[in-house]
Structure 1
Amino acid sequence: MTPGPEGDQPTTRIPRVAGEPADHDSATGPIPRVPAEEPAGVTAEIHENDRSEDTDDSGRRPTLLEQMGGIPGIIASTVPVAVFVVANVLFELKPALIAAVVAGVLVAVFRIARRQPLQPAISGLFGVAVCAFIAYRTGEARGFYLPGLLYSAALGLAFLVSIIVRRPLAGVIWHAVNGHGQGWRRNPRMLRAYSWASALWALVFAARLVVQGWLYNADEETWLGIARLAMGYPLLGLAIVGTVVAVRRAERTPAAG
């Protein structure tokens, strides 16, 4: 019991039960709030410990696209390849390999200086190191593009298999990149749309494999490098547009029945 203002009856302070509205009406009017007291420093320590290492400052888990550094990060990971293509045209194999590795290191340093995600830079540097090693061991510039050909073959096969097992990778990857769940698989229209989109992605990787594989066997190093760049972002953009169109069309189509 605490004394109220002059002339008023004493007011009883009743702690608010969790989940009860703050301004609970009663016969005596609103019940005053009694703030819960916590030991000094405990709240800050709990919030700090609850923050996961893979969440940002707001406590939200970064999407896969954000972990990759966004579009700039994806572009940065391909800089060493572009440098190798140009340097191989202007110079010989060894200077081109050195230029590609140096470009990968500079991209990593640049992202460190700007405190940007390092995953794209590290992935690009690792990839160009593997390609450079194969080219150096074989003594042929076309060896630099061999891992990319194997990568396209593996992805094309993976997209085809995902359609057969009814887990189309276009949907799995798209929702993972954007931080969404995988509940779309329970929607037949969305499942069908992502299956068509996955078939488009498989076609893109198959086209890369066929064209670049033919240039690789023909030992056309310069044209192979040009094809690697020309069939990179343009075909990637085409596949993304196709995925968006297929999904939006499925979302607009009314459910049967």
Structure 2
Amino acid sequence: MTSVDKPTTDRDAPAGQADKAVTEAALFEAFGGVRGMVETVLPGLLFVTIYTINKNLHFSAIAALGVSLVLVAVRLIRRDTVKHAFSGVFGVAFGVVFAMMTGNAKDFYLPGMIYTLGLALAYIITTLAGVPLIGLILGPVFKENLSWRTRNPGRKKAYAKASWAWGLILLAKCAILFPLYWWADTTQLGWVLVALKIPPFLLAVYLTWVFLAKAPPPIDVFAEMEAEEQAEKEAEQARKATAPGRTDG
């Protein structure tokens, strides 16, 4: 009977709780946590707030870009991970360029909407291809890399479920936003978009946690490689110790 097949006992409970805690911490790290969510929401919130008040596209766009740069600067000063802040800067910069080129404030949101649609399709297509995107994202975080593809079928199934969840949730979000892009005004679109930033994301992260918490634990390929290297060193030392002609003392 394997560790996956064993019935749960009270003695096993702490280990299960530890696995869930590791999964929660890894998801928190991978998706940026509370700070990452703030950095995702704040530029768009500032843009729509200023535009609602004064309808000034240039000032709203510059303010959104400025706060994104400040968030990156703060991370650099604190020597924190900057990938989430940098992705926010690029997203805001593309939105600013689109809006400035067309003169339509709604185009500030268009690059992000297109990115969301593309990401939704990526989750679905990669899952259908047998390489769910969420597994590619989280594999290195869990130190399992791609071992789940061939060596851990239960975990691969969990990644597939999670990728389906991400893809369908993001498609549902797009189904709301794209009609509003055509029919609503800038402020209506902006406030709906801000409102839809966090709840769908939290739902997708929660479902990912549920699926992975029930899955077999990841295979730590880094620990395996270290063990193999250690075994090779010990074998080499043993060969040298037993080599012909070697004498002690």
When normalised by structure 1's length, the TM-score is 0.66
| Cα shift readout 1:145-177 (whole Å, capped 9, x = no counterpart) | 110111011111111111111111122212234
Q: Which amino acid aligns with 2:44?
A: V
Q: Helix, strand or coil: the match of 1:166?
A: coil
Of 74, 83, 94 in structure 1, the residue corresponding to residue 46 of structure 2 is: 83
**Inter-CA distance 214–197: structure 2 relative to 1 (3 Å threshold):** same
- Contact preservation (8 Å) 1:101, 1:125: yes
Give the equivalent residue in structure 1 for 2:138: 174
- C-alpha separation between the residues in 2 aligned to 1:78 and 1:108? 14
Q: Which amino acid aligns with 1:89?
A: T
- Contact preservation (8 Å) 2:27, 2:209: no
Of 185, 199, 203 in structure 2, the residue corresponding to residue 220 of structure 1 is: 185
Give the equivalent residue in structure 2 for 1:8: none
- C-alpha separation between the residues in 1 aligned to 2:200 and 2:27? 21
- C-alpha separation between the residues in 1 aligned to 2:198 and 2:74? 22
Q: Does residue 1:132 correspond to 2:131, yes or no?
A: no
- C-alpha separation between the residues in 2 aligned to 1:82 and 1:89? 11
Give the equivalent residue in structure 1 for 2:59: 95
Structure 2 runs not aligned, ≥5 long: 1-25, 218-249
- Contact preservation (8 Å) 1:65, 1:178: no
Tell me: higher relative CO, structure 1 or 2? Use CA pairs within 8 A at least 6 residues apart: 2
- C-alpha separation between the residues in 1 aligned to 2:101 and 2:209? 42
- Contact preservation (8 Å) 1:64, 1:178: no
- Contact preservation (8 Å) 1:67, 1:117: no
| Cα shift readout 1:99-147 (whole Å, capped 9, x = no counterpart) | 1122122223322333333333333222211101111111111101110
Total equivalences in the alignment: 190
When normalised by structure 2's length, the TM-score is 0.68
* Percentage identity across paired residues of the two chains: 33
Aligned pairs for 1:1-257 within 5 A: 71-73=34-36, 75-92=38-55, 93-186=57-150, 187-251=152-216
Q: Which amino acid aligns with 2:51?
A: N
Give the equivalent residue in structure 2 for 1:60: none
Runs (4+) off by over 6 Å:
none
Q: Say which is worse superposed, 242-251 or 109-118, in terms of deviation.
A: 109-118
- C-alpha separation between the residues in 2 aligned to 1:140 and 1:121? 25
- C-alpha separation between the residues in 2 aligned to 1:178 and 1:81? 32
Task: Identify, as 1 or 2, the structure richer in helix.
Answer: 2
User: Could you say which structure has the larger radius of gyration?
Assistant: 1
- Contact preservation (8 Å) 1:108, 1:118: yes
Post-superposition shift, 1:208?
A: 1.6
- C-alpha separation between the residues in 1 aligned to 2:47 and 2:120? 25
**Inter-CA distance 116–193: structure 2 relative to 1 (3 Å threshold):** closer
- C-alpha separation between the residues in 1 aligned to 2:161 and 2:171? 15
Q: Helix, strand or coil: the match of 2:215?
A: helix
Post-superposition shift, 1:70?
A: 5.6
Q: Say which is worse superposed, 143-152 or 115-124, in terms of deviation.
A: 115-124
Note the aligned Cα RMSD (angstroms): 2.5
